[in-house]
Structure 1
Amino acid sequence: MAEEYPEFSLRLPNGGPLARGRQTDEKGTNGSRKFVVGAGQPVRKDVSPSFPTRVASANRLRKRLISSGAITPSATWPGWLETAEPITFNSPSEAAAVLTGNSVNGWDVWKAEDGRPLKEFVSGASRSPSRAWLVRGSNVTGLDLARRMWLPEGRVSLAVPLLRQGITQGMSPEQVRAFVEEDYESSSYGQRQQLAEEVHAFVSRMKEGDTVCTLSDGHLHVGQITGEVEQVESEDRRSNLRRPVAWQDVSHPYDELPEELKQKLSTQHDVVELTSVQAVIDGLGLTNEELVDEAEAIERDPSVELPAITARRELELPEPTDTLTSELLVHDTDWLREVRDLLWDERQLVLYGPPGTGKTYLALKLAEFLGGGPEQVKLVQFHPSYAYEDFVEGIRPKEDPKTHEVAFRLTEGPLRDLAGHASREGNRHIPHFLIIDEINRANLAKVFGELYFLLEYRDRGVQLPYSGDDFALPPNLFVIGTMNTADRSIALVDAAMRRRFAFVELSPRTEPTSGLLRRWLASQGKNAEPADLLDALNSRIDDADFRIGPSYLMKKGVYRDGGLERTWRTKILPLLEEHHYGEGVDIEKRYGLAALRRSLPEPTA
């Protein structure tokens, strides 16, 4: 009852006066708790630009109250309006919207004298922020409940036709699971487990003031939970668990939604938590200016950027500079720009070529530049025994640091670890890079698994087989692979991988690799003879996949006494011996330093 609640106050926008009101236990037709604002309470004179379209129903109510004289110009607060009589609103958010001329969460902005928000009193909630949820209603036993019932009647529901009566707000996971296990015993274990999680989320984790979304007719509809759960006997038991919702009057075309929100909405469950993209939802359909205007209705630290504005900060890959070109000794900045553009368009790229062409070095340096530092770059190296469990997630033996006992535990691989870091709030506009060295040395279909799908469809998610978690690749995660064509020809790479990656060649026959050693020698003030010898060597190798890259000769040890001969004998000639194994080729006579030096033109005076 009303006397159980203290008086709540609301600071009007732009440092305005305090309005006061009381929560009641009286419920409206859809189950929302009503809220009463007494006479003589201040009301904002104007409204935010987005108010008439974003919450059209509250805007219409406000106009009716002003027209009827229930809200009049204020003599107490010049330039403001005030209530001329007590007004009962359908929910705290409706009351706050009418008074502030803004779309606000009444359960957060109405506060008791001790600073606690209203939601802590009506739901027994903690100080944790409000959550966001997706509840599916566009195909419930063949009907679009969202269009038929939820939107017109102001509610959301969950179809659990076999669940007994007695479901109440705040039930524990164990209580819900016991009911589901008994009432749905004919269903599979996985179905019972999923249903129990969804029912518990709907009944106990959802609170008044939480955001709720649903999809219908290709549009996303957004609303706010305005009351506790109710269990009723509904037609065909398609909506026997219900909650009241204040739906916004505008919807958002699915095709125009941000990619990270689409990923979450693609999860195939009836109830999905969307709190990680709450800020994205809050900003839908609003400009930055409108977001700031709405935020003025809430007491907050003005020095902190609004989460909705932070969430929409654009992901960018910086343009390569001439300085980077000089550092990497690349022949042309335009070539680096093309690689950057390929990464931007495809999100996945493979640098391929013979050994020693600088593939890994270039991948790391380019990723560090584009990502803003080494903290955003993770490197893994594939090998023949590398598996999905190493890369994504798997059950691995782990030692307990306290007991030192070893047990098998679910362990994240480097991909999930980096994806989690890239998905954190405040990181989503920062590029993150996963470098996969020697990508073609592993069984790619075995290592990538369902990730092959995610690499192509970045706006979708999948359920991982070990953890059962819903997983998607964040838009700001880029993958750069390196492929040694001497180990396995690029022609042997399967079509699935070819379709998902852009391929960039690093070969001694083309730039930026063909002139790399010459540019490096010039930068070090060294004689160009090693570059001439390398060019002569590669001209004698018919198979382009086995030509020798310049990095073998870009080390300090090569230029100590006898270093060039030693490197040629121990690094380069063994590669060629393996290439010509069984062919009877005299490696020294064909590729030795003495033979190559004799082939070089005499230096001019």
Structure 2
Amino acid sequence: MDSPYPEFQLRLPYNGPVARGQLLTEKGTNGSQKFRVSAGSPVRPEEVPSFPATMKSSHRLRESLRADGLIRESTTWPGYLETTEDITCNSPSAGAEILLGRAANGYTEWKTADGRPLADFLKASWYGPNRTWLVRGSNVAGLDLVQRLWLPRGLVSLAANHLREGVEQGVSKDELRTLVEEDYESVLTYSQRTHLIEALHTFLSRMKPGDTVCTISNGDLYVGEITGDVEQVASEGGRSNLRRPVEWRNVGYPYLDLPEALQQKLSIQHDVVDLTSVEGMVAGLGRSDEELAEEVEEADGESSAELAALMARRELKLPEATDDLAKELLVHEVGWLQELRDLLWEDRQIILYGPPGTGKTYLALRLAEYFGGGPEQVKLVQFHPSYSYEDFFEGFRPQEDPRTRDVAFRITDGPLREIANAAAQEGNRHIPHFLVIDEINRANLAKVFGELYFLLEYRSRSVRLTYSGDDFALPPNLFVIGTMNTADRSIALVDAAMRRRFSFLELSPRTEPTRGLLRRWLDREGHGPESADLLDELNSRIGDPDFQVGPSYLMKPGVHRGDGLARAWRTKILPLLEEHHYGEGIDVEHRYGLASLRAAISSADTNAPA
């Protein structure tokens, strides 16, 4: 059987011997081009553990060939097996799998003597790395085509019931746009036609043999490999008239057990979705770390899918709280910090609330830097009454073109999208990133968060954005710490939706770690306890706990030099209380002034039992 293609080679792991084979023009049972492994090719003697379960057909073929003597111990390469006759397989991947004893992408594994992959020689193939796709088929005009058609017959399809016949693989998007506008003008809306053009162009012109394809059915994710070109056929109701052959794995992976970042991508509601950004998570399904590491080592670093899978599995962790951290932050016990850390890990979002001067912002920033590994992973934003969604996430803003100097409105990222993009980058997903929102209750939260409110609670989902139209999800490694000044607005006024999405942790002069913070600071800095006694007496006279004064006002070196304490009391603390009692006719100086407080403390000391 002659072939118009060159001879292809496949080197066995660890710089082993080289197998040879030929791509055939004849089609296999599912429409992919057959591949002939040449007689005398070396065969790896062992199989990886996942091979029998995930690639049952290739495993059965390999076992059958060994039983029939077509694969036997090699006399040429000690320690290897070898083929005794030419073996014709249904696809290049199947040919590679019987030689390697593991799942393999034959379109990249088989190469010419000068290193060009087999995929480069296929009709209408496009250059570049293989990609990973999601194609939906569980509800096509009410039918689950995955179970009825795709898995049993080894294919993936796309409905194009009004698209004219003869549309060729590799058609450009411009050509396709013209065809869809003409063929679907009276059938679909403009928006629906736009989505259809994207799906058809991907299926016809971007997908290629060797790409990974995924689909969801009955709560499971199924994974396969595209093995051939597009075929346009007649089908009942036009439900599956565009088809590609696929070698599906023999197992489904429960959706709820998938990594969160993969679930986010799978929740995008399009018929065809590019999953390449999470291809490592797909490549690693059903395979152990040891198996992936071995395959990367075997390929001498060229096994990009397996390497991506290992990188995607790098564990996201928040460091544990330590005694040293508690000592640095002057927190009374490390258990309080550990509880805060655990709340962050479980809920991803917390709010530190309390009166002014309790160290909320300082603590939020310092903990974010500690848990994130440095200031590079932390972004601070301060809310105010005029703050909006466009400021916070994305919106149109005037920007000058550096070349023409013309000013135009362009979509610009806000701080949340910037830190989310950084957290979602390949190689960053195991590193915690933090957004610190200072004075979070001073803005109209429903207006600022918009559709992102949903994502704060449902981290495994994605939403369509208002301005850019992109599908967006909050990365699993993005944490949010908000601060709330209760003197500005009581926590009781925060709406139920906000309370449900955040854990709330109080910082109050009534309770630790704030209550004893000033005394611990004074002791560390070598100052006497007078200012701590004065603050305790002051707060005992303030009836509303939301307006008690925090220790931060007095935790500055200048306060403890010369008349610094009197100056801080006069310029920072008394004006705060003047505002609190405005219109009540209270003599703030008489009630809260240093002379009054010192007299009370002196009297208490005099009357204290000996």
State the TM-score, normalized to the length of structure 2.
0.96
For residue 339 of structure 2, what is the aligned residue in structure 1?
Answer: 338
Say whether residues 1:261 and 2:266 are aligned partners: no
- What's 1:58 paired with? 58
1:116-155 to structure 2, matched below 5 A, reads: 116-122=116-122, 125=125, 128-155=128-155
Describe how 1:380-529 pairs up with structure 2 within 5 A.
380-529=381-530
- Residue of structure 2 equivalent to 1:89: 89
Q: Is the 8 A contact 1:2 1:23 kept in 2?
A: no
SS in 2 for 1:404: coil
Q: Which moved more, 1:76-85 or 1:327-336?
A: 76-85
Does the CA contact (< 8 Å) of 2:73 and 2:82 recur in 1? yes
Q: 2:377–2:432: 8 Å Cα contact kept in structure 1?
A: yes
Any residues of structure 2 matched to 1:148-547 within 5 Å, and which? 148-186=148-186, 187-295=188-296, 298-300=299-301, 306-547=307-548
Q: 1:89-108, aligned counterparts within 5 Å?
A: 89-108=89-108
Q: Residues 343 and 350 of structure 2 are in contact (CA less than 8 Å); yes or no, is this contact kept in structure 1?
A: yes
User: Structure 1 CA distance, aligned partners of 2:4 and 2:357?
Assistant: 76
**Separation (CA, whole Å) in 2 of partners of 1:2 and 1:321:** 71
Measure the CA separation in 2 of the matches of 1:142 and 1:305: 37
Q: Which amino acid in 1 is paired with 2:583? A: G
Give, in angstroms, the shift of residue 488 of structure 1: 0.6
State the Cα distance separating 1:120 from its structure 2 match.
2.0
Q: Secondary structure at the match of 1:601?
A: helix
1:171-218 Cα shifts (integer Å, max 9, x gaps): 222122221122121322211111111111111111110110001111
Letter in 2 for 1:245: V
Per the TM alignment, residue 86 of structure 1 is displaced from its structure 2 partner at its CA by: 1.5
Q: Which amino acid aligns with 2:311?
A: T
Q: Which ranges of structure 1 fall in alignment gaps of 5 or more residues?
A: none
Q: Shift in Å at residue 26 of structure 1?
A: 2.1
Q: Is the contact between residue 109 and residue 298 of structure 1 (CA under 8 Å) also seen in structure 2? A: no
Distance 1:123 1:491 in 2: 66
Change (3 A) 1:563 1:123: farther
> Matches of 1:203 and 1:126 in 2, distance apart?
12
1:123·1:208 contact (CA, 8 Å) conserved in 2? no
Q: C-alpha distance in 2, partners of 1:72/1:80?
A: 9
Contact 1:53 1:250 in 2 (8 A): yes
- Partner of residue 562, structure 1: 563
Q: Cα RMSD over matched residues?
A: 1.8
DSSP 3-state at the match of 1:576: helix
* Cα offset, 1:334, TM superposition: 0.4
Residues 280-323 of structure 1: per-residue CA shift (max 9 Å, x gap): 11111111112234445534269999221221122111111111
Q: Is the 8 A contact 2:296 2:302 kept in 1?
A: no
Structure 2, unaligned runs of 5 or more: none
Contact 1:518/1:531 (CA < 8 Å) preserved in 2?
A: yes
Indicate the SS of the match to 1:478.
strand
Please state whether the residue corresponding to 1:208 is helix, strand or coil. coil
Give the Cα–Cα distance (whole angstroms) in 1 for the partners of residues 126 and 518 of structure 2.
64
Letter in 2 for 1:506: L
Could you list the per-position Cα deviations for residues 512-553 of structure 1 after superposition, in whole angstroms to 9, with x for gaps in the alignment? 111111111111111211111111111111001111111111
d(CA) in 1 for partners of 2:22, 2:249: 24
Amino acid at match of 1:501: F
Cα distance change on mapping 1:123 and 1:310 into 2, 3 Å: farther
1:579-594 correspondence to structure 2 within 5 Å: 579-594=580-595
Give the Å deviation of 1:95: 0.4
- The Cα of 1:125 is off from its aligned counterpart by 4.8
Q: Which residue of the partner structure matches residue 572 of structure 2?
A: 571
Partner Cα distance (1:109, 1:301) in 2: 10
Amino acid of the structure 1 residue aligned with 2:182: E
SS of the residue aligned with 1:306? helix
Matched AA of 2:75 = A
CA contact (8 A) 1:104 1:294 kept: no
What is the CA deviation profile of residues 51-75 of structure 1, one whole-angstrom value per residue up to 9, with x for unaligned ones? 1111010011111222223223222
Contact 2:284 2:306 (8 Å CA) reproduced: no
**Is the CA contact (8 Å cut-off) linking 2:30 and 2:154 kept in structure 1?**
yes
Look up the SS of the partner of 1:496 in the other structure: helix
Number of residue equivalences = 605
> Do 1:229 and 1:241's aligned partners in 2 also have CA atoms closer than 8 Å?
yes
CA shift, 1:2, in A, is: 6.4
Structure-2 separation of matches of 1:173 and 1:102: 37
Secondary structure, aligned partner of 1:541? coil
Where 1:350 maps in the other structure, the secondary structure is: strand
Deviation of the 1:567 alpha carbon: 1.4
Instruction: Return the alpha-carbon distance in structure 2 between the equivalents of residues 430 and 157 of structure 1.
Output: 38
Q: What amino acid is the match of 1:149?
A: L
Mapped contact 1:210–1:224 kept (Cα < 8 A): yes
Q: Distance in 2 between matches of 1:532 and 1:124?
A: 81
Question: Which whole-Å CA distance do the structure 2 matches of 1:173 and 1:127 have between them?
Answer: 17
User: Structure 1 86/432 Cα, relative in aligned 2: closer, same or farther at 3 Å?
Assistant: same
Whole-Å Cα distance in 1 between the matches of residues 251 and 297 of structure 2? Answer: 22
Residue number in structure 2 paired with 1:8: 8
Quick one: which amino acid aligns to residue 232 of structure 2?
A: Q
How much has 1:127 moved relative to structure 2? 5.3
Q: TM-score, normalised by structure 1?
A: 0.97
In structure 1, the residue corresponding to 2:103 is in which secondary structure? coil
Alpha-carbon spacing, 1:594–1:359, altered in 2? closer, same or farther (3 Å): same
1 CA distance for matches of 2:434 and 2:2?
A: 56
Deviations 1:97-128 (A, max 9, x none): 01111111111111122222222222565653
Distance across 1 between alignment mates of 2:63 and 2:381: 62
- Structure 1 Cα separation of the partners of residues 401 and 387 of structure 2: 25
Query: What is the CA–CA distance in structure 2 between the aligned matches of 1:72 and 1:507, rounded to whole Å?
Result: 77
Instruction: Give how far 1:3 is off.
Output: 4.6
* Greater Cα offset, 286-295 or 17-26: 286-295
Match of 2:49 in 1: 49
Change over 3 Å in CA distance of 1:154–1:297 after alignment to 2:
farther
Partner of 2:115: 115
CA distance in 2, matches of 1:289, 1:123: 37
Distance 1:271 1:305 in 2: 24
CA apart distance, 1:24: 2.4
TM-aligned CA deviation for residue 560 of structure 1: 3.1
- Name which of structure 1's ranges 237-246 and 11-20 shifts more when overlaid on structure 2: 11-20
8 Å Cα contact 1:48/1:293 also seen in 2: no
